Every structure is written in structure tokens, then in C-alpha cells.
Amino acid sequence: MTTRTFTCLCCRRKLPVNPRIKDQRFCGQAVCQRDRKRRWQQAKMTTDPDYRNNQRDAQKTWRERNPDYWRKRAAKRAPPPRPTGSVTAPAVKMDTLSEYFNAETVKYIIVSIDARGRKMDALPVRIVPLSTG
């Protein structure tokens, strides 16, 4: 018997279908579940005016209950003050990549990135020089 599979719309992995989930389109990873919820909410906001109005009212109520939220958050996330005086910037190392690019065999990972900039499956490879000259 062949196991039915589906491709997750978020991470693009091919996985076996869970028989308890009809028309499964997302896997169980937290990132994929967040994406599923985000897509559902976007669709609901565009198609259901009652849902959209309820969301707007809930946001308005929250803003009224938390008027200083953004001010407090900005103060908490403010960068630390810069030191004054004779503090100099640390020296920048210019040849840090030389150890990675040499004539020896080096291991790399090739990663495909989708249109949204997310990493997909990684492919470990070994790059071996064909000639020394």
C-alpha cells in the first residue's frame, strides 16, 4: 500500500498525510502552523466584514487600555548610551576569510532560498580543487 503524501505550503517538505486531517496542506512545525494561521486570518479579514469589524474594535479597546505601550516599549528597547571619552573602536580584522578559502579540501553547505527568503533543504557538499595551478 502506498502512503499518500502532501507538500507543506510553508516549508515545501514532502510529508505523509495525517489521516485525521482532511485536505492537509501544512505540517506540524511551529513556523508552518504560524504561517497557516496568518494565511487564515488574512483570508478571513478580506472576506468576512464582521470578523474585520470585531478585530478593529478589539484593537481599539486594547489601545485605550494600554495608552503608554509604545512609549514604554521604545524606552525599554532604546540603545544604551555611547561611552564618552577616549574609548576607541576595536580593530577590524581584514583577513578573517583567508582560512576558509585555501587550496585544501573545504566543506560547504549549499542552501536553496525560496522567494520569501526562507532557507529550504540544505545540501552538504565538499569542494575539492581539480588542479593546483
CA R_g for the chain: 25
CA distance 47 to 41: 10
pLDDT of residue 80: 74
pLDDT of residue 1: 63
9-13, 59-63, 126-130: range with lowest mean pLDDT: 126-130
pLDDT of residue 122: 65
CA distance 109 to 125: 6
DSSP annotation of 90 reads: P
Average pLDDT over residues 42-70: 96
pTM: 0.51
CB 120 within 8 A of CB 12: yes
In this model, does residue 16 exceed pLDDT 70?
yes
Average pLDDT over residues 64-81: 88
Choice between 19 and 110, residue whose per-residue pLDDT is larger: 19
Percentage, residues of the chain above pLDDT 70: 62
DSSP annotation of 100 reads: T
The predicted-structure confidence for 88-123, as pLDDT tens digits, reads as follows 666 666 555 555 555 555 566 666 666 666 666 666
Cell matching residue 62: 486594547
Q: Quick one: which of 12, 13, 18 has its CA closest to 4? A: 18
pLDDT of residue 43: 95
